[in-house]
Structure 1
């Protein structure tokens, strides 16, 4: 007797300078799914407690392994590097979805992927961390002014070690990987997103800024439901992809 395939738990991975709060609106549009938004140690207000890429990857890996049943991971921006490093040995991951995110290959870091020089809207602080200048323009161009101001106030510091950490064995070589290109993004240029998307099995486009989970949560939720439903019957672990 066959058993119905359970809906996966969706695990959301935020980008640099952000936190779990970034996913709150989107999660309300996905009531049929159990959802978890991780809180990466690479971001935070206390520079003495900030972690690196491996700390972020360890937290995500432990979270996913602790879930009983299939998991879909949705990773945004820097969170794509975290998912890429964390998920290779997580057999219950059904799919990883890169949302305008970095998808490094082995030996690559986010710092390398932006050309070895941080964008001019990133400031390095005296405590060996980083902060964002002009976040409304860079991250929240399609948000209402009120929402954009609120989101900008939530931003924290990001450790340099997280941005400089190199991926060892990228998960997108093993797992079903989908990329969502945001065509109005001012933080990660769509041309760069296209390069990362070539490492994935499936590509979708959304006419949105860098933060569609805030600016277009309804449209993003519709797209995620479609992407996840299409992949649901597949195996957890496909053959290695070169």
Structure 2
């Protein structure tokens, strides 16, 4: 990604920091909750108090929106929203200014995401049964087992002979680390399946197999851009 070609005006960055400072208590409370957030407390502190304001904001956005064209759209959207917020504030329209501020904060990564183990199980089962139609149960199960990352938590996910998943542990809400592990596993499984079914990944995407609530594909669950409606 040629980040040097993408710049955020200092005035926009300064205004974003102003909004973050105004919302500091609320954002710290959000980050302390168990649900998934792609921003950490240390990143928030850096945005609030580091001297390299423009670099810090661009660095955060680059990690949230890894594709250059998406990053460029988000930067443009932030500039427009900041301008709109400044205008609305002068008119005293609190509800509209609050709505725009929420959108700015979400684009900056401050969006709480809740994913349960049951939702993951259902999405994995969709992909598994889809694979079973092409490869059969035995090969599908073998592919899941051979591509599973080495992690004790993932051992809670077990596969029946029918190729359906179930979860042996009672944990409900997933963490960001756990979501990243699931994403790593699904990517590796799809790559393995693509050796036999060349267009396996493309077919899954086209037919929306393995979607989480909100229409987020399990294949894209590790990408923040999939969770935030960045253009509305």
More helix as a share of residues? 2
Largest Rg, 1 or 2: 2
More strand as a share of residues? 1
Fold conserved between structures, TM > 0.5: no
Taking structure 2 as the reference length, what is the TM-score of the superposition? Answer: 0.29
